[in-house]
Amino acid sequence: MYHLKKSMSFIIGAIVVLISVACILFTFPMFHETVLAENNAAEMIVMHSFAIEAVSVRGEWLDTPLTDVTTREIVTLRGLTENDSSVVLHIFAAWCPVSNAQLAESTTFLQTYSGKAHLISMDIDPSENAEMLAEHIATKGYDGLFVTAERPIVQGLADLFGEEIIMSIPQTVIISDDDFFYLGPGVVRSDSISSTIDQIRLQHVTPLEPLELMKDIFSPLLGR
């Protein structure tokens, strides 16, 4: 009987230790990720090497009205791409520290490369309403258009790129004309966003456009 009790105590103790170790292994990456994103966003930057491939999209969901939570301006993804404008679309959630690292990078992009593209960030978490999102943006000082998710757009993106685009955040897509360019999950640096837009624009030029386009791209670098 004594040996049985001793064996049971040993087994229970071993189970407790295993559970504790499993919890540490499971929670440490999330804790580590959160600390890095909040205290040193640069450590969370994903070094993307983009192979730019276009997915041509045509669908009514591109005309779904989206309301900016701050200005109450109503836009559509199709409307934002008019006049050869590029659109940077982020999928994020306000509670996610890595998403916040991305929004900080994107704010830098808008401030550094003013007028280069529209930036719209869509909060995928249904528990975060427009008022909550507006307060979060004001507190953090982010720039760009911010909208809550609309079902037709969420479904359209999932059909294009799979459910990962709404399950693993943040995500980044660049839209140019009717083409969608998926940059994937993680944080994309402001200069990487800019250079990717340049690559996309080079793919869209006609034979008569390259010289003017190259002047447009490199003039800011030359201070002209």
In terms of domains, do 68 and 26 share one?
no
pLDDT above 60 for 194:
yes
Q: Between the ranges 48-52, 74-78, 200-204, where is the mean pLDDT highest?
A: 74-78
Non-local (6+) Cβ contacts of 164 within 8 A are 171, 185
In terms of domains, do 64 and 96 share one?
yes
Over pLDDT 70: what percentage of the chain?
67
In terms of domains, do 63 and 92 share one?
yes
pLDDT above 60 for 9:
no
68 inside domain: yes
17 inside domain: yes
As a whole number of angstroms, the distance between CA 86 and CA 192 comes to 14
In terms of domains, do 23 and 130 share one?
no
In terms of domains, do 200 and 96 share one?
yes
pLDDT above 70 for 87:
yes
pLDDT above 80 for 22:
no
In terms of domains, do 72 and 177 share one?
yes
**In this structure, are residues 98 and 182 in contact, taking their beta carbons and an 8 Å threshold?**
no
The pLDDT assigned to 4 comes to 43
In terms of domains, do 22 and 73 share one?
no
47 inside domain: no
48 inside domain: no
pLDDT above 70 for 41:
no
The pLDDT assigned to 219 comes to 60
pLDDT above 60 for 15:
no
Per-chain mean pLDDT for the chain: 77
49 inside domain: no
As a whole number of angstroms, the distance between CA 220 and CA 218 comes to 6
- Give the structural domain span for 19: 2-39
Number of domains in the chain: 2
Q: Between the ranges 6-10, 185-189, 206-210, where is the mean pLDDT highest?
A: 185-189
Take residue 154 and report the two structure tokens written for it. 């969420």
Amino acid at 178: D
Total Cβ atoms within 10 A of residue 58: 8
Mean pLDDT for 160-185 is 90
**In this structure, are residues 148 and 129 in contact, taking their beta carbons and an 8 Å threshold?**
yes
Take residue 104 and report the two structure tokens written for it. 């900080």
Nearest to 147 by CA among 158, 155, 137, 156: 137
61 inside domain: yes
In terms of domains, do 111 and 217 share one?
yes
Amino acid at 161: F
